Each structure stands twice: as structure tokens, then as C-alpha cells.
């Protein structure tokens, strides 16, 4: 684990330096990862370039690539328990969540493996003595900067479409969550992935992340993380004349109208904020409730919230710890500030007896009513903290829902068909759910944001577009 994975081999950092891997449930170091350098990035990009331009990877047919990705998917499922345990220790996830992440990672390789030989172009009618074909070609080498919240899912989500399209890849996982990514890269080799198609360089984002986006050998960058770093990546990519996808999180609203099915809405709204301890880009972190049912609905939601338990991965409760002590402090500060400002605390979950006191745990918290302009209603907490806001009518609901800088996911809970359509059209988000919620599951469903949530679409067949270029071929004939 203390080495990079470059060109199919374990390679130490050129500086020889390593940095701790921390178990968030205990707060203690349990291993080391390599602290990458700009030279290591260069080595990885050269390996990827070679794999694409001259190596075995670039010579595979689309069908062979697809078969390989699907074989990899099966191997991931074979190693489900091992991978889930690696992830649970590295990120603190409850085992059920870690196992789901393995399934999702495998599903990405299954899905895009099946798509690899179905990516093709067009012919265009043109001048009589000309033949025109528009073909889709791999971009070449793609860089992937990953966050720490769903490492294995992100590996699948960004890598599988890129490999399916024929690119060679370099990953920079988050320093706080590199273990499963290293294991997956080695597993891909076991499945027969040619050397250099997948390279992993670990270490600090500020030292090597921009170096990846700035490298002249890289043709595209996929970034998932904070808006601030995303903006930096986009600027760096612009200087490098390349394009990027940015997935930057959100402040996703769930609108509960007076005709909502409470039995359906309450458990779904709860899960959408406590799942993965709220460390989910598409977490439903605001619940907007119609005034006429606000009291009754919040009582039901509060009761459910109070039953949420936080524990270590093997306890397998609703929530695990927060990824790092720094993030724990950030989440706790949101809670403390809200209390200090006198925002009513409706309910809190509990931390289980027997957890390590040095673990990065916080109590899931439901606040309301939260003023629309308060930071709890405007900023991404990235923890299990839900802000409730009452609204008057549809117009008021839309004004509040669309009134943040973000636009990733939104949901409306209502039995009225006309209102379902109006909400679908008016909510500013990349995905809108009606009487359901959950961006995580649907690998087939295009996903991405607007505004501060970023741009570009991942998942679904549309993700393949970003990982290929169109080439127009015009042939004049006799």
C-alpha cells in the first residue's frame, strides 16, 4: 500500500516519502501510502501514453476491451468481502455501505464493458463524389482526481467509461482514501489489464493534483471534490487546452407537499442525509416542507432521526465516522454555529456505546426551521446534518429550492400529477426525483450538476461522449 501502481508494477515515490493511512473509527495510523511527487506523475503519464500510443492496450479491439472490463467486474465481485474490509478500515464506512460500493464498482465495469463495442459514428450525405464518415476515437490519456467519500464507486464511475472508450488512465485518489483504489488497480492487472492502462499515483492533492491537470501528456481531466479545487483544476486544464468534467457537490432539496405520502417520504429523506454519514455529493441536505403539514411531518422525521445510530464499520449501523479529523471539525462547527445562533435542534442521533473515543464521530442532527439565508441552508456541510425549511406554496418552494449556488439533485414528494410535472421542469438540478430519491444506484442514469455543482455528465451512455473525440473523414472519389 505504500507504493504507487504504475505500468503494472508497484513503484516507490521518487522522494522515498510516505504518509499515514488513518482508520477514521480509531483515529489511528494503520498503514502508509506513498507521498507522490510531480516526477511520479510524469512517470505515470509516460506509462499511460506508451500503453495508448504503442502498447498492448491501444491495440485491443473494442470487443476485447469490453470483454476485459466485464471480466474485471466479475473479479471485483469475487473479492467483494476483501475489498469491503479494505474500504471500511480506510474510510470508516459501515460494512453494508462498503459492500454496496463494491457492487456498484463492479456494475460500472459490467455496464461500460457491454458498451465498449457499441460506440460508433455516422456517415453524412455530402457532395456527390465525396464520402464522409464521422468516427469516434479515444482521447488518449485521461486523468482522474477522486474524492474520499465513495472511492470504489468513483473508480468505476470515471474509469470504466474512459477505458471502454479506449483511453489509458491515471488516478490521483484522495490522500484519505487510497487503499481500495490501489487494490482495484492491481486486481485489474490480475484480470488481464495491459500494463499502463490504469496507473495510480497517491499523495497530496495540492502537490500532485494540479500537476496531473497541467501535464501536456494528459488529454482530459475528471475531477470530483470541492468547488474551490474544481475551479483550480478547470483553470489549469484551460492553460493545458484540455476539457474537464467537474462534479462538485450540492445542497440538494427535497420538497414535501401537503399531499405527500409520509410513509414513503420519511425513511427516504432520512436515508438521503445519513447514508455514508452525509458525505455524499447528492445528499438530500435540505428538506422543504409545506407550512400546513410542517409540524406533523417534522415530528415524524424527528422521531426517525432520533433513532439513528453511529458506530464503527463492524457495528454496521446507519452512520460511520467522518473521514478525517479535519472534516469532523468542519461538520461539528456547522452544528455548533447553528446552536449558537439559536436555530432549533429538532432531533439528534446517538453515538453507540463502545466506539473508540478517538474516532471521528459526530451526532446526526436535524435543525429547523432554518432561515433560507443561513449557512446551514446555503453551504454544503458534507456531514449528517439536515436543514428543514417551511414553504407556503409551489412558487415559494421553487424560490427556496433554486435559491442556492448549487444544482445537483432535487426531489418532490406529491401525489398531484400536474405538480409532479411542474416540479420536474422548474427545479434547477441535473437529476430530479419524484416520490423517490437516490442518485447512487442508477448507473444507467446521466448525472451531474449546474452552477457550483459543476458541469459535465457522468453515468449512462452519455458519459462515453466526454471520453472520445469525433473525427470527420472526407474522401473524394472518382
Give catalytic residues, as residue numbers.
Answer: 247, 281
Minimum CB distance to Mg ion, residue 177 (Å): 5
Q: Which of 112, 220, 367, 382 binds ligand NAP (CB under 6 A)?
A: 382
Closer to ligand NAP at the Cβ: 166 or 249?
Answer: 249
Annotate each residue in 257-286 with x if it binds ligand NAP (CB under 6 A) or - if it does not, as one string. ------------------------x-----
- Among the listed residues 292, 291, 284, the one whose alpha carbon sits nearest the alpha carbon of residue 265: 284
C-alpha span between 83 and 3 (Å, rounded): 18
User: Binding of ligand NAP at residue 146 (CB under 6 A)?
Assistant: yes
Q: Binders of ligand NAP among 38-77, rule CB under 6 A?
A: none
- In a 10 Å sphere around its CB, with 0-12 CB exposed, 13-18 middle and 19+ buried, how is residue 260 labelled? buried
* Residue 138 or 141 having the CB closest to ligand NAP: 141
Closer residue to ligand NAP, CB minimum distance, 248 or 463: 248
What are the cell numbers at 25?
473509527
Place of cell 462547527: 333
Tell how strand 122-123 and strand 28-34 pair up: unpaired
d(CA 65, CA 117): 8
**Residue 14 within binding range of ligand NAP, rule CB under 6 A:** no
How far apart (Å, rounded) are the C-alpha atoms in residues 121 and 408? 30
Q: Which residue number, 176 or 443, has a Cβ lying nearer to Mg ion?
A: 176
**Residue pair 122/348 in contact by the 8 Å Cβ criterion:** no
Q: How many other C-beta atoms lie within 10 A of the C-beta of residue 127?
A: 9
Map residues 413-442 to x or -, x wherever contact with ligand NAP holds by CB under 6 A.
------------------------------
**Least gap, CB of 444 to ligand NAP (angstroms):** 20
d(CA 275, CA 412): 19
Q: Is 413 helix (H, G, I), strand (E, B) or coil?
A: strand
> How many Å is the Cα radius of gyration of the chain?
23
Residue 225 is a binding residue for ligand NAP (CB under 6 A): yes
Q: Which does 188 bind (CB under 5 to 8 A by kind): Mg ion, ligand NAP, none?
A: none
CB-nearer residue toward Mg ion: 22 or 184: 22
Is residue 134 within the footprint of ligand NAP (CB under 6 A)?
no
| Rounded alpha-carbon distances, angstroms, from residue 65 to 91, 182, 255, 367, 459 | 31, 21, 43, 49, 18
- Tell me: does residue 221 bind ligand NAP (CB under 6 A): no
Strands (E) across 27-103 are located at 28-34
CB of 435 vs ligand NAP, minimal distance in Å = 25
DSSP 332-350: HHHHHHHHHTT--EEEE-E
Q: Which DSSP letter does residue 140 get?
A: S
Residue with cell 482521447: 139
How many residues bind ligand NAP (CB under 6 A)? The answer is 26
Alpha-carbon gap, residue 388 to 366, rounded angstroms: 7
- Of residues 40, 87, 90, 195, which one binds Mg ion by CB under 5 A? 90
| Per-residue binder mask for Mg ion (CB under 5 A), 9-38, x = binder | -------------x----------------
Of the pair 173, 456, the CB lying nearest Mg ion is at 173
Q: Which does 146 bind (CB under 5 to 8 A by kind): Mg ion, ligand NAP, none?
A: ligand NAP
**209 touching ligand NAP, by CB under 6 A:** yes
Q: Which residue from 224, 240, 277, 404 is in contact with ligand NAP, where contact means CB under 6 A?
A: 224
Task: Tell me whether the omega of the peptide bond preceding residue 369 falls within 30 degrees of 0, making it cis.
Answer: yes
Instruction: Look up cell 442525509; give the residue.
Output: 273
Q: Of all helices (H) and strands (E), which one includes residue 186?
A: helix 179-190
Contacts of 73 (CB under 8 A, 6+ apart): 106, 107, 108, 109, 110, 113
Does residue 79 contact residue 73 with C-beta atoms inside 8 Å? no
For residue 90, the partner it binds in ligand NAP, Mg ion, none, with Cβ less than 5 to 8 A by kind, is Mg ion
- Is residue 249 part of the contact set for ligand NAP (CB under 6 A)? yes
Residue identified by cell 471502454 is: 164
Only segment of 56-64, 144-152, 270-278, 308-316 that touches ligand NAP (CB under 6 A): 144-152
Task: Supply the minimum distance, in Å, between the C-beta of residue 27 and Mg ion.
Answer: 11
Question: According to CB under 5 A, which residues from 167 to 196 bind Mg ion?
Answer: 176
Q: Which is nearer to ligand NAP, 204 or 292 (CB)?
A: 204
* Residue numbers at the binding site for Mg ion (CB under 5 A): 22, 90, 176
* Residue numbers at the binding site for ligand NAP (CB under 6 A): 145-149, 172, 174-176, 204-206, 209-210, 224-226, 229, 232-233, 247-249, 281, 380, 382
Amino acid at each position: 500500500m505504500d507504493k504507487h501502481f504504475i505500468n503494472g508494477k508497484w513503484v516507490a515515490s521518487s522522494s522515498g516519502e510516505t504518509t499515514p493511512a488513518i482508520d477514521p473509527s480509531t483515529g489511528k495510523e494503520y498503514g502508509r501510502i506513498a507521498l507522490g511527487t510531480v516526477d511520479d506523475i510524469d512517470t505515470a503519464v509516460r506509462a499511460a501514453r506508451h500503453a495508448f500510443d504503442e502498447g498492448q492496450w491501444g491495440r485491443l479491439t473494442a470487443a476485447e476491451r469490453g470483454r476485459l472490463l466485464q471480466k474485471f467486474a466479475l473479479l471485483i465481485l469475487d473479492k467483494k468481502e476483501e475489498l469491503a474490509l479494505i474500504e471500511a478500515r480506510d474510510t470508516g464506512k459501515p460494512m453494508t455501505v462498503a459492500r454496496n460500493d463494491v457492487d456498484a464498482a463492479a456494475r460500472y465495469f459490467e455496464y461500460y464493458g457491454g458498451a465498449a463495442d457499441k460506440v460508433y459514428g455516422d456517415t453524412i450525405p455530402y457532395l456527390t463524389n465525396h464520402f464522409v464518415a464521422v468516427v469516434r476515437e479515444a482521447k488518449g490519456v485521461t486523468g482522474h482526481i477522486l474524492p474520499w467519500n465513495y472511492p470504489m464507486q468513483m473508480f468505476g464511475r470515471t474509469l470504466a467509461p474512459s477505458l471502454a472508450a479506449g483511453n489509458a488512465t491515471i488516478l490521483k485518489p484522495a490522500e484519505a482514501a487510497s487503499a481500495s483504489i490501489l487494490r482495484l488497480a492491481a486486481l485489474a492487472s490480475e484480470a488481464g489489464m495491459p500494463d499502463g492502462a490504469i496507473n495510480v499515483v497517491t499523495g497530496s492533492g495540492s502537490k500532485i493534483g494540479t500537476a496531473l491537470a497541467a501535464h501536456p501528456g494528459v488529454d482530459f481531466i475528471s475531477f470530483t471534490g470541492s468547488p474551490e479545487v474544481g475551479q483550480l483544476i478547470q483553470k489549469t486544464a484551460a492553460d493545458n487546452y484540455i476539457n474537464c468534467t467537474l462534479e462538485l457537490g450540492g445542497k440538494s432539496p427535497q420538497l414535501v407537499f401537503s399531499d405527500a405520502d409520509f410513509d414513503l417520504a420519511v425513511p427516504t429523506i432520512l436515508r438521503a442525509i445519513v447514508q455514508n454519514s452525509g458525505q455524499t455529493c447528492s445528499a438530500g441536505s435540505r428538506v422543504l416542507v409545506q407550512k400546513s403539514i410542517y409540524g406533523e411531518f417534522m415530528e415524524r422525521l424527528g422521531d426517525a432521526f432520533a433513532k439513528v445510530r453511529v458506530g464503527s464499520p463492524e457495528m454496521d449501523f446507519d452512520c460511520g465516522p467522518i473521514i478525517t479529523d479535519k472534516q469532523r471539525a468542519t461538520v461539528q462547527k456547522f452544528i455548533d454555529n447553528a446552536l449558537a445562533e439559536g436555530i432549533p435542534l429538532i432531533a439528534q442521533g446517538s453515538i453507540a456505546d463502545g466506539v473508540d473515543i478517538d474516532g471521528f464521530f459526530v451526532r446526526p442532527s436535524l435543525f429547523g426551521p432554518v432561515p433560507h439565508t443561513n449557512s446551514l441552508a446555503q453551504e454544503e456541510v458534507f456531514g449528517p446534518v439536515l436543514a428543514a425549511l417551511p414553504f407556503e406554496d409551489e412558487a415559494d418552494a421553487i424560490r427556496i429550492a433554486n435559491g442556492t449556488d448549487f444544482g445537483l439533485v432535487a426531489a418532490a414528494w406529491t401525489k398531484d400529477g400536474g405538480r409532479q410535472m411542474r416540479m420536474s421542469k422548474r427545479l434547477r438540478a441535473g437529476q430530479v426525483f419524484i416520490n423517490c430519491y437516490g442518485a447512487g444506484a442508477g448507473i444507467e442514469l446521466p448525472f451531474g450538476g449546474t452552477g457550483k455543482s459543476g458541469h459535465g455528465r457522468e453515468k449512462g451512455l452519455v458519459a462515453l461522449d466526454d471520453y472520445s473525440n469525433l473525427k470527420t473523414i472526407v474522401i473524394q472519389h472518382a
